[in-house]
Amino acid sequence: MTIQLVGMSHKTAPVEVRERLALSDEGAGALARQLAESGEIREALVLSTCNRVEFLASGEPDALHRAVMVRFGGSVNGAGSLYHLTGREAVRHVFRVAASLDSMVVGEPQILGQVKEAYQRARASGALGGPLDSLLSTAFRVARRVRNETEIGRMAVSVSHVAVQLARKIFGDLDGRDVLLVGAGEMAEAAARQLRASGTSLRVTNRTFAGAERLAAEFGAAAVPFERLLELLQTVDIVVSSTGAAGFILSRRTAEGVIASRRNRPIFLVDIAVPRDIDPRINEIDNMFVYDIDDLQQVAASNMEARKQEAEIAERIVDDEVDRSLRRLRARSADPAIVSLNRRLETIRRRELERHSAKLRSLTREQREVVDHVTRGIIGKIAHRAIVEVKRGASEPGSGVRPEDVRRIFGID
């Protein structure tokens, strides 16, 4: 019984190759079932996302690779982009994928959900239910552990996400906050969209009112004439600015007036324009927070760096968990031998009791119970050492005894 994995990901194959293997949700579930029914493979799971297609199985060594090559050998021409992992490496890979350490953007949260869905589908189609099943449950636990014990998912790494995270640090809950989008621009619009998704209400202005109306229509927000900018600055909480103006549209002097008339209510000014719209010195004023595109990018970059550091901690967690689950898996590999040993001894006991049933019939009920109890005790004691040794042999290869030795000694076929 070997855990094995065959697959390709964004790291080994371009999308032109990946798409040839990609499967629909139903297709993945059905394929998992087909694989698991093939005899050599006991359990199977198929994960198909836009960044990876992976087949995971427990069964005879190499069985999965052969099955995949039979099915997809033609479409992956020579399979140079396929990886084939077994045992420890396969377990490690599954844990890393679930914990989002193998993702294109390390720490992105979607992959765990995708693995969980693949697991549910494979389970529903009856393709799981053995060591692979418990391995996947462990993978989910490892992913949770990584999430809880590292900061890997908590660091925003895109400019728009950084802007939202900063707004949260200033205001707390963003629900019901007022956002003003000044001017159009891809990144500003992305930031506005993200802010809106966090529950803020959005207003839009532009130097030409027609431009403002066009933007407003796109966002389903209210358009406001540019002349009212100063008035709006007194009430809104967050400004995302991205005009094509040559100079500052908000000077430090004006800003001082703005914060006074706001009675020091904090305001977050996000300046995504180049050349800049907002005088950076406004950041020196209390309760006014100015971030320009470089500031945001710098936060994103240092978060990215921090994610890498966190990823190292996560890798250590994964290594630790791989060791543990391999130990568990190995210990469980002795289970079938132990079960048959117990069954064998119990059969012997029953047979012997039956053989002497005529003589035992004269015993009282209590006496028969004593005989039953004593014989059980004897086979238990005989089995005990054998079980201990076969378990030791399973968890520390080279020591103890092998399952087949136990089978031979006790005549189990």
Partner 1 sequence: MDADPALLLKVALAPYAAALAEALYAAVKPRHKLTRGGLACFIAAVALHGASLALDGLERGRFPVQALQQLASMASFFMAAAFLAAYARFRYTSLAVFAVPPVFLLALAGALGAGARPPSRPILQWWISAHAALFLLGYAALFLACVAGVMYILQERALKAKRSEPFSNHLPPLGKLDQIGYSALAAAFVLVTLGLIAASVWAFAKWGPSWIVDPTIALALLTWAITFAVLLSRLAVGWRGRKGARLAIAGFFCAGLTWIVNSGAHTFTGQ
Rounded least distance, CB 146 to partner 1, Å: 13
Q: How far apart are CA 161 and CA 163, in angstroms?
A: 5
Q: Determine if 151 is a binding residue for partner 1 (CB under 8 A).
A: yes
φ and ψ of 266, to 5 deg: -65, 150
- Six-digit token pair at 203? 């207003």
Beta bridge partners, 86, equal 4
Q: Determine if 263 is a binding residue for partner 1 (CB under 8 A).
A: yes
Amino acid identity, position 406: V
Q: Determine if 316 is a binding residue for partner 1 (CB under 8 A).
A: no
Q: Determine if 213 is a binding residue for partner 1 (CB under 8 A).
A: no
Q: How far apart are CA 258 and CA 248, in angstroms?
A: 15
Given 286, 359, 361, 374, the residue binding partner 1 (CB under 8 A): 286
Q: Determine if 283 is a binding residue for partner 1 (CB under 8 A).
A: yes
Given 266, 330, 346, 353, the residue binding partner 1 (CB under 8 A): 266
C-beta separation of 213 from 225 below 8 A: no
Amino acid identity, position 280: P
365-395 and 335-355 helices cross at what angle (nearest 10)?
A: 160
159-171 and 293-332 helices cross at what angle (nearest 10)?
A: 100
- Six-digit token pair at 390? 């076969």
- Six-digit token pair at 260? 């006074």
Q: Determine if 235 is a binding residue for partner 1 (CB under 8 A).
A: no
**What is the DSSP-derived secondary structure letter of residue 200?**
-
50 carries an active-site annotation: yes
Q: Determine if 198 is a binding residue for partner 1 (CB under 8 A).
A: no
Choice between 283 and 395, CB closer to partner 1: 283
Q: Determine if 195 is a binding residue for partner 1 (CB under 8 A).
A: no
State the catalytic residue, choosing from 50, 274, 301, 371: 50
Given 11, 144, 169, 327, the residue binding partner 1 (CB under 8 A): 169
Given 1, 17, 23, 170, the residue binding partner 1 (CB under 8 A): 170
Binding site for partner 1 (CB under 8 A): 149-151, 154-155, 166, 168-172, 263-266, 283, 286-287, 289, 291, 295, 298-299, 302-303, 306
| Residues recognised as catalytic | 50
